[in-house]
Amino acid sequence: MTTVSLGMPEVPPPALAERRRSRQINVGGVPVGGGAPVSVQSMTTTVTADVNATLQQIAELTASGCQIVRVAVPSADDAEALPAIAKKSQIPVIADIHFQPKYVFAAIDAGCAAVRVNPGNIKQFDDKVKEIAKAAADAGTPIRIGVNAGSLDKRLLEKYGKATAEALVESALWECSLFEEHGFRDIKISVKHHDPVVMIRAYRQLAQQCDYPLHLGVTEAGPTFQGTIKSATAFGALLAEGIGDTIRVSLSAPPVEEVKVGIAILESLGMRERGLEIVSCPSCGRAQVDVYKLAEEVHAGLDGLPVPLRVAVMGCVVNGPGEAREADLGVASGNGKGQIFVKGEVIKTVPESQIVETLIEEALRIAEESGAELPEELRGLGPTVEVH
Ligand code: SF4
C-alpha cells in the first residue's frame, strides 16, 4: 500500500521547548535560573511590621509548598521587622521596596534573601544604584528588577504612550544597565502586566535580550477564577517556550491559593511531579451517577495527599472502564454501582453510596504502601471515613 505524506514529522517535537539558558542566582538557598527547577513564590498580605502575623502566614505558605516569600516594606516599622522575619522564616524572604531606597539597605542588612525594587517607584533610585549595588554585592543579595505596567517610569510612558511590552522591557533593561555599570549582575527580572497578551510579548522580548533569570507574573490578575485562567494561560505559553525561572500567581485571594495554582500549573506542564490528579469526565446524557459530586467529594477527601496518584472518576461504561484502567485508581459507574479499579484491575463492585469512601480508602492504602507519611488530616480516614 502506498502511503501519502501529510507533511507531518514522523516524530512530533516535544511539547515543551528546552529551557532558555539563563544565568543562575541564589535566593536564600533556592537556585533561580540556570536550569534550576521553576520555583513557586507568593507574597504575604499581613502588615509586615506585625511580625507574628507575618510569620504565621509565612508558615502557612511554607506548608502549602511556597518556596520563596515576599513581604512588602512600605514603612520604617516594616523595615525594622525584617531582621526578625528573615531570621525566623522557614523559606527565603524577599523584601519588596517601593519609594524608599533606604529600605533597600535595611533589607540587605536584615539578611533578606533578595530585594525587589520597582524602578518606576523608587525616588532618586538611579542615583543610588552604585551604593545599592555595592551593599548587595558585599552581602551576596540578589536584586529583582520588578517593572509593573501600573507604575511604569514616566519617561517611558511618554515615549510609548502606554505600558506596551516594549516599554516594560526598556524600563527593565535600563535599570539592569545601571547595575551593570557597577559590575552587578546578580539580578532577576519581572515585567508584569494585567493583560496576558502584553505580558507574554514582554517576556519573549526580554528573554531574547538578556540572560537574566525571569520571574513570571501577571499582575492584578483578578479574583481566583479569572486570575487562575490568566496566569495559567500566560505562564503556560511562556514555560512551553522554555521561558521562566520562577513564578508568582497574583490573585485577589489568600496567598496560599496563589501557591496552589502555581504548583498546579507546573504539574500540568509536567515540570513538577504531579500530586493528586483527578481524571473525571464532564458528564453527559449517558451519565448514570452525579459525576460532579463524586469528583468533588473524592478531591476534597484526598486533598493534601502527598503522593502522585491519578484517580479516574467516570460517569458511565462508555469511556469509564478505559480511563479507570489507565489510572492508578478509578471508578466506572453505572446502574447504581461502581466498578473499582486499582492499577488496571477491577478489585470490587460497590453500591453507588460507597464509591467515594471506597476510592478514598484505596487511595490512602496505596499511599501508605508506598511509604508516604500521611498528613494528620488524612491519617485514620481509611475505613472509617464518613462522606456526606
Ligand atoms: S464517561 Fe460516560 S458519562 Fe462521562 S462524559 Fe463520557 S460518555 Fe458521558
Confidence (pLDDT) at 221? 81
Beta-bridge partners for 187: 143
Overall average pLDDT of the 100-107 stretch = 92
Q: Which long-range contacts (CB under 8 A, 24 or more apart) does 162-166 make?
A: 163/193, 163/198, 164/198, 165/191, 165/193, 165/198, 165/199, 165/201, 165/202, 165/205, 166/202, 166/205
Percent of the chain past pLDDT 70, that is, above it, reads 93
- Assess whether pLDDT exceeds 60 at residue 385: no
- Assess whether pLDDT exceeds 60 at residue 250: yes
Pairing type for strands 187-192 and 215-216 reads unpaired
Lowest mean pLDDT among 120-129, 295-304, 311-320, 379-388: 379-388
For residue 198, give the nearest of 168, 241, 165, 235 by alpha carbon. 165
For residue 218, give the nearest of 268, 168, 182 by alpha carbon. 168
Label residue 211 by pLDDT band (50, 70, 90).
very high
Confidence (pLDDT) at 118? 84
Atom 8 of ligand 1, residue of closest alpha carbon: 284
Confidence (pLDDT) at 7? 62
For residue 42, give the nearest of 19, 70, 83, 79 by alpha carbon. 70
- Assess whether pLDDT exceeds 80 at residue 163: yes
* Residue labelled with grid coordinates 505596567: 149
pTM: 0.86
Per DSSP, which regions of the chain are E strands? 25-27, 30-32, 39-43, 68-72, 93-97, 114-117, 143-148, 187-192, 215-216, 246-248, 276-280, 309-314, 329-334, 337-342, 345-351
Mind giving me the DSSP string for 167-185?
A: HHHHHHHHHHHHHHTTT--
For residues 313 and 325, give the distance between their C-alpha atoms in angstroms, rounded to a whole number.
Answer: 11
Atom 5 of ligand 1, residue of closest alpha carbon: 283
For residue 248, give the nearest of 26, 85, 67, 60 by alpha carbon. 67
Q: pLDDT per residue over 273-310, tens digit each?
A: 888 899 999 999 988 889 999 999 999 999 888 888 99
Confidence (pLDDT) at 387? 40
Confidence (pLDDT) at 388? 39
For residues 93 and 30, give the distance between their C-alpha atoms in angstroms, rounded to a whole number.
Answer: 11
Q: pLDDT per residue over 67-96, tens digit each?
A: 999 999 999 999 999 999 999 999 999 999
For residues 228 and 221, give the distance between their C-alpha atoms in angstroms, rounded to a whole number.
Answer: 8
**What 8-state DSSP symbol labels residue 150?**
G
Binding-site positions for [4Fe-4S] cluster = 281, 284, 316, 323
Tell me the angle at which helices 101-110 and 76-88 cross, rounded to the nearest 10 degrees.
20
Confidence (pLDDT) at 98? 82
Averaged pLDDT of the chain: 91
Lowest mean pLDDT among 8-22, 35-49, 268-282: 8-22
For residues 274 and 90, give the distance between their C-alpha atoms in angstroms, rounded to a whole number.
Answer: 24
Q: Any residues with Cβ below 6 Å from ligand 1, and which? A: 281-284, 286-287, 314-316, 318-320
303 φψ region: left (φ > 0), alpha (ψ -120 to 50), beta (else):
beta
For residues 15 and 150, give the distance between their C-alpha atoms in angstroms, rounded to a whole number.
Answer: 34
Using CA atoms, how far residue 226 sits from 148, 159, 237, 272, in Å, is: 19, 31, 17, 23
Q: Compute, in angstroms, the gap from residue 332 CA to the centroid of ligand 1.
A: 10
Q: For residue 298, what is its C-alpha cell?
A: 473524592
- Assess whether pLDDT exceeds 60 at residue 382: no
Lateral strand order in the sheet of 143-148: 187-192, 143-148, 114-117, 93-97, 68-72, 39-43, 246-248, 215-216
- Assess whether pLDDT exceeds 80 at residue 22: yes
For residue 261, give the nearest of 42, 43, 16, 37 by alpha carbon. 42
- Assess whether pLDDT exceeds 70 at residue 26: yes
Supply angle C-alpha 351, 352, 356, rounded to 5.
Answer: 110
Q: For residue 167, what is its C-alpha cell?
A: 516599554
- Assess whether pLDDT exceeds 90 at residue 378: no
* Residue labelled with grid coordinates 536564600: 28
Q: What are phi and psi of 339, to 5 degrees?
A: -85, 120
Confidence (pLDDT) at 56? 98
Label residue 384 by pLDDT band (50, 70, 90).
very low
Q: What are phi and psi of 138, to 5 degrees?
A: -60, -40
Q: Compute, in angstroms, the gap from residue 320 CA to the centroid of ligand 1.
A: 7
* Residue labelled with grid coordinates 502549602: 64
Pocket perturbation via mutation, ligand 1, pick of 278, 279, 280, 283 by most ligand atoms within 8 A of CB: 283
Lowest mean pLDDT among 258-262, 297-301, 367-371: 367-371
Q: For residue 93, what is its C-alpha cell?
A: 524572604
Classify 189 as helix, strand or coil: strand
Pocket perturbation via mutation, ligand 1, pick of 278, 279, 280, 284 by most ligand atoms within 8 A of CB: 284
